[in-house]
Each structure stands twice: as structure tokens, then as C-alpha cells.
Amino acid sequence: MPDLSINFAGIKSPNPFWLASAPPTNSGYQVMKAFDAGWGGAVWKTLGVPVVNVSSRYGGVNYRDKRLIGFNNIELISDRPLADNLREIEEVKKRFPNHAVIASLMVQTRQEWHDIVRQSQDAGADGFELNFGCPHGMCERGMGSAVGQEPKVLQMIVEWVMEVATKPVIVKLTPNISDITEPALAARRGGANAISLINTIQSIVGVDLDLFAPYPIVDGKGSNGGYCGPAVKPIALNMVKNCAQHPDIKMPISGIGGIENWRDAVEHILLGASSVQVCTAAMHFGFGIIREMTSGLEQYMVEKGFNTIYDMVGKALPNVLHWEDLNMKYKVTANIHAEKCIGCQLCYTACEDGAHQAIKLNAGTRVPEIIEENCVGCNLCSLVCPVEQCITMDRTDDGTQHLTWKERIAAGTAPTEFNDERAGGRHHWVPVPSAALGKERHKTLPGTARVINGETVVPTEA
Ligand SMILES: Cc1cc2nc3c(=O)[nH]c(=O)nc-3n(C[C@H](O)[C@H](O)[C@H](O)COP(=O)(O)O)c2cc1C
Ligand code: SF4
Ligand code: SF4
């Protein structure tokens, strides 16, 4: 069987799955229950000077029949006294010595940082995560994302922590910044051992149309909160990739954001994370999701021949290029598999109104037809088609040619003028504007006037 254990910047864990610092790690009761269920580690709910929270505090984004594709909160760090949390950390570590317990910390002054690091160390924490990411409530007090957005301040606080820390220090980054690598580099300069990302994204999840107030509502009012859950995974993956590819960051990365199952976790790992953290999914479905996560990961590793987590860390990174390095000679074309088609014609509408008028309807059948020469291979029809594998995007170039934008620039063959003959769309069919108002405007039929190479033509064949 593959070995799921990790050594993350010196923090050992039986598997890469950690609970993120959040309500599921608010108490020893929850963390022990989670470890018993199979979680490898837990980042304790952020410790500091205890807060007072408001009620209510969470908002959700539901999409059609799916609950909580996005989740929003306006809660702060731990509202429990530090001594209670530290006593429970000690108890958990005694019962689960081989699991990772990481103390998430957020305080203000140098003295407070020194005190809380020392006390957490004494309680047996395996490492620290510095919360420079909370985008609401704490940032107004000069903490959380207010620090994560100021690389110099971030570096200074990391240096304070490193003065006393004898355990690994992870810096948790805020996504509420234009270039995530800047605070990551500051963390490195400050001497941190690792980074974790992302914390929540500043957001308003919705507005009550009767009360005229944003959710979650507190006595008729609301505030911006922090967004997380499945909807944020794409943003998290991109930021993990940015940090993992940066030549000067070179620190272990704990991937956080939208992880709900083993596949999400593997995506984070393939883009450079060597541990992953989960919050919303544990709040939504409970600790039991870990069983599917570990068995799914194990199965995937067996199938791919990976013996350890480190065989897969960053495996997708060489395939994430800059746009200018992609092969412009590669071509895919949509292909409708008529035997699977249910005739909904969503593909036709999408291509007709939102893409390149490359799908036509034929009399006597509800199965649309691709006009190959118009198809630019954008994928839209295959993405909207509700039937799996009904529209496939099939390769139509012969695979012998390779030309990138960078190479075109170097060779002087890229369009440089507004009306350049080398414009990419020069040879695509475009219906003449007035065709939109004709009787047959919802159909792309043989005989529809089109603009090809600047000329209006009426093709005899579709
Ligand atoms: C209700 C709630 C409270 C949170 N509290 C903290 C916190 O105290 N400290 C912290 O570093 N992150 C906190 N987070 C952020 C999570 O640790 C995590 O970074 C974020 O939710 C993204 O992961 P997810 O998509 O799996 O939820 C909180 C998130 C939620 C939803
Ligand atoms: S979207 Fe798919 S199922 Fe619907 S008509 Fe197009 S090909 Fe057929
Ligand atoms: S891939 Fe794009 S252009 Fe081609 S048929 Fe589908 S939607 Fe139209």
C-alpha cells in the first residue's frame, strides 16, 4: 500500500489531510473525534486574546439544487480563554502523539507573539500557523489580512516569532491581494518554514431583498465576510500554483480552499501542496468524509504507481505554462454523438448566441449538427451539454506542427496593426449583422449570408 504519511517542514502527520483552523477545531472534543475518524492533523481555531462574536455569523450560496457551493462567515478567532485551549491541546497530544496539532495564532505586539508562541510550545503544539489572512473583524484591528497585505509588516512579525519558536512556523496567506507571491516571499525572508493558503476571500454572499441588508444579518444589518467552500477552489489552486512555481519561494505549501473530496486534494497536491486543509466540507458533512478521502487517495496512488505523497507533489506544474508558450497549431473541433443526444439544443443556443454560430439545426431532427469550418474549438457546447460525453472535443490537427505566440512574435508573424491581414478571426465565417433579424434568425442554415474574409457571401452549402 502507498505511504500516506508526510513530514511537512518538520511536522509529522499520518496522512496529508488536516482540518483547517476554523469551528471544527474549536475544542479538544472535536479534534479528538476528528483524529479518531482518521484525520492526520488539525490546525487549532486561531488563538489570541479571546473575542466576542455576533449572531448570526454564516451566509451561504446555494446553486440550484446544491447547498453551500459557497460559504461566508463573519466570525472572528477563538472566543475561548487561551488556558482552556492550551490545556486541551496538551490533552489531545497526549492521546494522539503521532498526529499533527498546529496552533494557529493571531496577536498584536512583539511581547504577545513571544508569549503565545512559548505557551503553545509548552502545551505540545507540533508547529504554528500565523493567521495573516482573516479578512473581516480582525483586520480592522490591524491583524489578520491587514498584516497579510503588508509584506514588510508580515516579515517583521515572522521575525518576532522566529526569535522564540522552536517548532516549525507556517504563514497563512490572504487571497485578498493582487500578487500572492509577495507575502509568500516576505514570509520566507522573515525565516518562516512553510506557507499555507488560502484564507477566506472578502465577500458579500447576497442581499436580502426585503430587509435591504447583506447576509448574514445581524439585527437588520450586515458586514462583508470571508468566502470559502467549493466555489473558491479555482482561486486557491491558482494561488498555490503561483507560489509553487516561484523560483524563490521554495517552501512546503499547505493547500487550502474548496477541498471536499480526495480529487480536490489531489489537485492541490499536483499543483505543489504537500499537505491539505479542509474547513467548509467538514462543517457541511462532518468528520466522516475523511474515510472516502484517504481511501480514494490511496486508490489513486496505487493506480498511478505513486509510493509516497512526495511522488505526486507538483507533478502538474511543468504543464502549467504561460499563455504565450501554448501550441497555437493544436486544434480541437466539437463532435456531437447523435446516439447520446437528448435533443435539448442547449449547445445550439450557446454556440449561436455566445460563441461562433458553428452549430445548425436540421429539419426533421432535434439533434444539432456542427459546422466544422466555423468551430473554433472553444469547448462551450461540450460544457453546456447535459449528457456526459455526448459532445466530445476531438483533435483535428495532425499533430506535426508546433507554434507558440512567443515564436510568432519572434518571427514577426503576429498581427501588429488594427486591420492586420494576420488577425486570428480573419478566416472565420461570421453571419452578416442583418441575418440576425431575418425570419430564420434562430437557425444557421445553408443560404444564410455570412462575412468571410471581409466579403459578404451566401454559401450554397452549410
Ligand atoms: C466559520 C469559519 C471560521 C474560520 N475561522 C478561521 C480562523 O479562526 N483562523 C483561520 O486561520 N482561518 C479561519 N477560517 C478559514 C479556514 O481555515 C479556511 O482557510 C477557509 O475556510 C478555506 O477553506 P475551505 O474552502 O475548505 O473552507 C474560517 C473559516 C470559516 C468558514
Ligand atoms: S446539448 Fe448535448 S444533448 Fe443537448 S442537443 Fe446539444 S448535443 Fe444534444
Ligand atoms: S466548440 Fe465552440 S465554436 Fe465549436 S461548436 Fe462548440 S460552442 Fe461552437
CB 47 within 8 A of CB 24: no
Separation CA 171–CA 191 (nearest Å) = 10
Domain 323-421: CATH class, spelled out:
alpha beta
Please give the span between the terminal C-alpha atoms of the chain, in angstroms, as a whole number: 57
Separation CA 68–CA 46 (nearest Å) = 23
Distance from residue 335's CA to the centre of ligand 3 (Å): 9
Helix (H) or strand (E) holding 456: strand 455-457
Asked whether 32 lines ligand 2 (CB < 6 A), one says: no
66-70 contact pairs (CB < 8 A, 24+): 67/284, 68/229, 68/230, 68/280, 68/284, 69/229, 69/230, 69/231, 70/205, 70/227, 70/228, 70/229, 70/230, 70/231, 70/232
Give the CATH H-level superfamily of domain 6-319. Answer: Aldolase class I (3.20.20.70)
Separation CA 167–CA 130 (nearest Å) = 13
Alpha-carbon distances of 398 from 88, 323, 395, 424, 432, rounded to whole Å: 63, 22, 8, 20, 32
Q: What is the pLDDT of residue 386?
A: 98
Which residue has its alpha carbon closest to ligand 2 atom 5?
345
**Could you tell me whether strands 213-214 and 207-208 are parallel, antiparallel, or unpaired per DSSP bridges?**
antiparallel
Dihedral of alpha carbons 135, 137, 141, 144, sign: negative
Which residue has its alpha carbon closest to ligand 1 atom 14?
22
Q: What is the pLDDT of residue 435?
A: 85
Asked whether 26 lines ligand 1 (CB < 6 A), one says: no
Which residue has its alpha carbon closest to ligand 1 atom 10?
21
Produce one character per residue of 237-261: b if its CB has 16 or more CB atoms within 10 Å, e if not.
bebbbbbbebeebebbbbbbbbbbb
Q: What is the pLDDT of residue 443?
A: 47
Task: Supply the DSSP string of 241-288, one letter for each residue.
Answer: HHHHH-TTT---EEEESS--SHHHHHHHHHTTEEEEEESHHHHHH-TT
Alpha-carbon Rg for the chain in angstroms = 27
Q: Which of 107, 197, 228 to mutate to test the pocket of ligand 1 (most atoms within 8 A of CB)?
A: 228
Q: What is the pLDDT of residue 441?
A: 47
Q: What lines the ligand 3 site, CB under 6 Å?
A: 334, 350-351, 355-356, 358-359, 370, 375-381
Q: What is the pLDDT of residue 56?
A: 95
Low-confidence ranges of the chain (pLDDT < 70): 439-462
User: Domain map of the chain by residue range?
Assistant: 6-319, 323-421
Ligand nearest to the CA of 390: 2
Ligand 1 atom at minimal distance to the Cα of residue 129: 11
Asked whether 229 lines ligand 1 (CB < 6 A), one says: yes
Distance from residue 133's CA to the centre of ligand 1 (Å): 9
- Torsion angle defined by CA atoms of residues 25, 300, 71 and 18, in that order, rounded to the nearest 10 degrees: 20
Q: What is the pLDDT of residue 88?
A: 98
From the CB of residue 189, how many other CB atoms can be counted at a distance below 10 Å? 15
Asked whether 336 lines ligand 2 (CB < 6 A), one says: yes
Ligand 2 atom at minimal distance to the Cα of residue 359: 6
* Strand ranges, E, within 75-219: 100-105, 127-131, 169-172, 194-197, 201-203, 207-208, 213-214
* One-letter amino acid of 341: C
**Could you tell me whether strands 66-73 and 225-228 are parallel, antiparallel, or unpaired per DSSP bridges?**
antiparallel
Which residue has its alpha carbon closest to ligand 2 atom 4?
344
Q: Do domains 6-319 and 323-421 have the same CATH topology?
A: no
DSSP state of 371: -
Asked whether 346 lines ligand 2 (CB < 6 A), one says: yes
Helix (H) or strand (E) holding 351: helix 346-354
73-110: pLDDT as tens digits: 999 999 999 999 999 999 999 999 999 999 999 999 99
Q: What is the pLDDT of residue 308?
A: 98
Is residue 134 part of the annotated active site? The answer reads yes
**Any residues with CB less than 8 A from the CB of 383 and at least 6 apart, and which?**
none
Asked whether 256 lines ligand 1 (CB < 6 A), one says: yes
Distance from residue 252's CA to the centre of ligand 3 (Å): 41
Asked whether 73 lines ligand 1 (CB < 6 A), one says: yes
Q: What is the pLDDT of residue 170?
A: 98
| Cell numbers describing residue 221 | 444589518
Which residue has its alpha carbon closest to ligand 3 atom 2?
378
